[in-house]
Structure 1
């Protein structure tokens, strides 16, 4: 997966485990930070989404671990929306070590758009869909939900 880099970080000591590598669960946190950065990159921060009356909830995360990062390693994180349906969108995620481009983790996350007040699923707004299509090298697939 060659995805646009939207977030970078340096591994903090507290993110490592007794083996001296990033604890596997932290990659889900990294993925979430990457999604937030992706929203900003396409022009929709979480605050903008909330102000427009909607929100997103994670309904699925899939992560494959390919390598190991340690304390003070600089990481780069890529993200793109692969598929966007009526109310859900699935994004591809990748984490690499900046120094040698080693693939560390890759996976996907599915979000469902919900009404900001009721929490009920709602259609992903057209302007958000258009912003994603303009940002990415290829637009997301658009199968029905």
Structure 2
């Protein structure tokens, strides 16, 4: 499964410490992979998480969904493809597809939902606070 141009691809090599006794990636590590991929996605809109926080914006996680399809193992190269699935100016949902680079087997499909807030965790409307950022986010959703 490949998303439109408005997605990012992050390559992660599975480390030994991320595997369990069965020799496969422990399920909890995919949430970390999502975070790494989401951070990379922010770069494609010309921002960094630190830059957003310096502007007074926070993006806490509200919900995580992860559907496991096939296991990854030590030293596999995993590609996590990320895109914005939904965005309304306050809430945003990222969608992720992780697959093994070598054979493109889908490993995990997931999503994370977020809310834009100020540093006091009060929800904010990005369109009003940063029209430029709002437009960049909308642009990534166009095919």
RMSD, aligned α-carbons: 1.4
CA deviation after TM superposition for structure 1 residue 128, in Å: 1.9
Counterpart contact for 2:8–2:44, Cα < 8 Å: no
- Aligned residue pair count: 137
**TM-score, normalising length from structure 2?**
0.89
Structure 1's consecutive aligned runs of 4 or more residues displaced over 2 angstroms after TM superposition are 1-6, 132-138
Contact 2:89 2:134 in 1 (8 A): no
Q: Deviation per CA, 1:16-66: give whole Å up to 9, x if none.
A: 000000001100110011101101121110111012111100000011001
Partner secondary structure for residue 52 of structure 2: helix
Going by fraction, where is strand more abundant, 1 or 2? 1
Gaps of 5+ in 2: none
State the partner residue of 1:35: 38
Give the equivalent residue in structure 2 for 1:129.
Answer: 134
Structure-2 residue corresponding to 1:10? 13
TM-score under structure 1 length normalisation: 0.88
Give the deviation of 1:6 after TM superposition: 2.6
